[in-house]
Amino acid sequence: MMIDIDLLLALGASYKKVFHGEIIFMEGNRCNFYHQLVSGKIKWANINDEGKEYLQYMVEPGESFGELPLFDPGPYAASAFAEEDSVILKLHESTFHQLLEENHALLLSFSKLLAQRLRFKFFMLKDLLCNEPEERITSLIAYLQYNKHNFCTQCGKIKLTRQQIANMTCLRVETVIRAMRHMHELGTITIRKGKVYCCSMTPVIHG
């Protein structure tokens, strides 16, 4: 979801540069701002007391993130970290609410965005019940392909690392590496110079 940058700036939004590894907000904290990524990469994840990470989403430039508590009084459900040096735009929550009240088309777009992300959570939770690593990975790639997210529509490259795939599927990275090697041998995916490309996978998304 992307709000026009000029509109955000006219409403008083400000740029913020964050550096690799920097925390943007923490799970459980109150939400005061709408965030939109201008450049770089942002990781949106839950991390337990033992340091184990569950990756919720890899944010791409132009996308918003952490917007759920802007629509209810709850705190952030996950934390956001800069995966590399990045630039974000921040708009105060009160101004964001006013913008939605005055722009019903934008409100509808955010409703669609939240529905898509909720569908993704249902989709991933269903596949976590499956014990077969290749099925989990296949389902994740199919969903990325379907939504054109973290996925290059021109060459079919999956724009996630093995570690990120592991953190999204609750698998060990060693398991992901072995499973993807086998998928490559079967022709489900192609691995070239360490990069993963989708071959003939046909995504079927139910909901």
User: What residues have CB less than 8 Å from 119, skipping those under 6 apart?
Assistant: 205, 207
Whether the Cβ atoms of residue 30 and residue 23 lie closer than 8 Å to each other: no
Residue 70 backbone phi and psi in degrees, to 5? -75, -15
- pLDDT above 90 (res 199): no
Report CA torsion sign: 129, 132, 136, 139. Answer: negative
Task: Name the band, by pLDDT with cuts 50, 70 and 90, for residue 206.
Answer: very low
User: What residues have CB less than 8 Å from 85, skipping those under 6 apart?
Assistant: 17, 18, 19, 20, 40
User: In this predicted model, what pLDDT tens digit does every residue of 155-190 receive, in sequence order?
Assistant: 889 999 999 999 999 899 999 999 999 999 999 899
pTM over 0.75: yes
Helix (H), strand (E) counts: the chain: 6, 10
Maximum Cα–Cα distance across the chain: 54
Percent of the chain with pLDDT over 70: 96
DSSP H or E stretch at residue 106: helix 104-128
Which domains, and CATH codes, for the chain?
5-117 (2.60.120.10), 130-198 (1.10.10.10)
Six token digits for residue 89: 């735009």
Mean pLDDT for the stretch of residues 189-198: 90
Mean pLDDT for the stretch of residues 102-107: 92
User: In this predicted model, what pLDDT tens digit does every residue of 107-156 receive, in sequence order?
Assistant: 999 998 888 888 888 877 777 777 789 988 988 888 888 777 888 888 88
Nearest to 168 by CA among 49, 9, 58: 58
